[in-house]
Chain A
Amino acid sequence: MPEESQSPKILYCRCAYAQVVPGDVKDGVLKSLCDSGVAFETVSDLCEMSARQDPRLKSIAEGGPVKIAACHPRAVKWLFHSAGVPLPEGDAVEILNMREESATGITGKLFNRELSQ
């Protein structure tokens, strides 16, 4: 298995199965990711993956520092738990809320290499 670089991984949730994240915010964030030169991971819908207990959630939860652009942190935290793969406690995970924040605010935090709570 390849060892990944230690700067936080970026995970983007498209929320494609129900449009609860404003379209302009999720498009804006995805656009900035695509315009940048960075590697990133995207999922169509974390809720759908949690419902199916997709094994990829485990490697996200256990794959080291990660910034997750999705929705309310409380929902995201317990969605992982509900899939049987709790996110690590502490400062290895930063959840960014595309339901509340602007695309610019989110991308600023995504590209900042530091993790904050």
Chain B
Amino acid sequence: MVSDEASPIQVILYEGDGSSAVPPDRRFEIFSALLDRGYAVIRAAKGSYRNGDALPATAVEADRMLVLGDFGGDAPVLEDAGGRTAIETRDIGALDGESVLEMVEKFRDDRPMNQPGAWKPWFPVIDYDRCTNCMQCLSFCLFDVYGVDDDNRIQVQNNDNCKTNCPACSRVCPEVAIMFPKYSGGPINGEPVSEQDLEREKMKVDISALLGGDIYSKLRERSETAKSRFSKERSSDKALDERKKCLIKLQGEGMIPADVLENLPSPEEIQRKAEEAAAKAQAALAAAEGGGG
């Protein structure tokens, strides 16, 4: 699930004026229990923020905030002076991590929230210091993950369409500009890119073959002849065969999880989507060339 509605409650462990400090071991227990369940937690210590106000700016961005502290049995009433954030307070006394988690879960009630273990944030992240806007990722992806912005610049548009654990598009990028931070190995996980990586990654997959012709050089020629040759070369069977070959190759390299391959759309659907993606890429490239020279 990826949803704006899923923004978790902001929890604050308040240890400033009016509360007693929580012993370090218990503090660690509380933080681990809450973080591992998906909550963001801030420790507000004595004098951490100027003018005695213990609410950091990050917390105020949340629309709901729960302030926990050892208040000696009597949690104070707090209000956001800006009127933006609903603040509630709870006295945690000597509760351990699990009991504090229970208290926070009860407070959350049925408000939706992503849960570690139930969903994995898996989506491509583009390194624009490397990206040359070649559109190969857009042409390759069958699931509409990529699109272009108003300036015809590639962007990740539908990150929740991405297939969990499938980093295949990162392999297609000739500039090694696509990262999946949750991937195990580099440079896909964000490790620095070496010259060796560049050589290894470059054009492992011949994306133009996938689409049944060198669409990019045809595009540059921009003549009617080129256009008609392009459509001829884009024989659908060849395109499909190449795409299949490519997918099998990537699977052989451990790049595409078996369940993603098993759940690929029908050949007709793949063909339709591939054509749509290619047309989108082509239009964006043409617009970018037209606009930028």
| Contacting residue for B61 out of A5, A16, A27, A56, CB 8 A | A56
1/0 per residue, CB under 8 A from A, across B51-71: the answer is 101111111111000000000
Q: How far is the CA of A54 from the CA of B32 in the complex (A)?
A: 21
1/0 per residue, CB under 8 A from B, across A29-54: the answer is 01101110111111111011111111
Q: How large is the interface on A (under 10, 10 to 19, 20 to 34, 35 or more residues)?
A: 35 or more
CB-CB nearest in chain A for B193: A74
State whether A44 touches B121 (Cβ < 8 A). Answer: no
Which residues from chain B contact A20 at a C-beta distance below 8 Å?
Answer: 181-184, 189
Which residues from chain B contact A44 at a C-beta distance below 8 Å?
Answer: 8, 35-40, 116
**A4 CB-CB contact with B under 8 Å:** yes
Which residues from chain A contact B186 at a C-beta distance below 8 Å?
Answer: 72
Q: How far is the CA of A47 from the CA of B62 in the complex (A)?
A: 17
Q: How far is the CA of A103 from the CA of B59 in the complex (A)?
A: 26
Interface residues of B in 5-44 (CB under 8 A from A): 6-8, 10, 24-25, 27-28, 31-32, 35-44
**A55 CB-CB contact with B under 8 Å:** yes
State whether A82 touches B125 (Cβ < 8 A). Answer: yes
| Contacting residue for A48 out of B32, B114, B128, CB 8 A | B114
CB-CB nearest in chain B for A86: B128
| Contacting residue for B57 out of A33, A59, A76, CB 8 A | A59
State whether B32 touches A30 (Cβ < 8 A). Answer: yes
| Contacting residue for B128 out of A4, A50, A72, A81, CB 8 A | A81
Q: How far is the CA of A28 from the CA of B34 in the complex (A)?
A: 17
Which residues from chain B contact A30 at a C-beta distance below 8 Å?
Answer: 28, 31-32, 35
CB-CB nearest in chain A for B38: A44
**B94 CB-CB contact with A under 8 Å:** no
Q: How far is the CA of A51 from the CA of B10 in the complex (A)?
A: 17
State whether A4 touches B189 (Cβ < 8 A). Answer: no
Of residues B43, B45, B53, which shows the largest number of chain A Cβ atoms within 10 Å of its Cβ?
A: B43
**A2 CB-CB contact with B under 8 Å:** yes
**A25 CB-CB contact with B under 8 Å:** no
Which residues from chain B contact A79 at a C-beta distance below 8 Å?
Answer: 125, 181
Which A residues contact B (CB, under 8 angstroms)? 1-5, 9, 14, 16-18, 20, 27, 30-31, 33-35, 37-45, 47-56, 58-60, 63, 71-76, 78-79, 81-82, 99
* Subset of 8 A-B contacts with CB under 8 Å: A18-B120, A40-B42, A40-B43, A41-B42, A52-B2, A55-B7, A59-B61, A71-B189
Which B residues contact A (CB, under 8 angstroms)? 2-4, 6-8, 10, 24-25, 27-28, 31-32, 35-45, 48-51, 53-62, 82, 114, 116-117, 119-123, 125-128, 156, 159-160, 179, 181-184, 186, 189-192
Q: Which 8 pairs between the two chains have the least Cβ-Cβ distance?
A: A75-B190, A39-B48, A72-B190, A2-B53, A14-B35, A47-B121, A75-B181, A34-B28
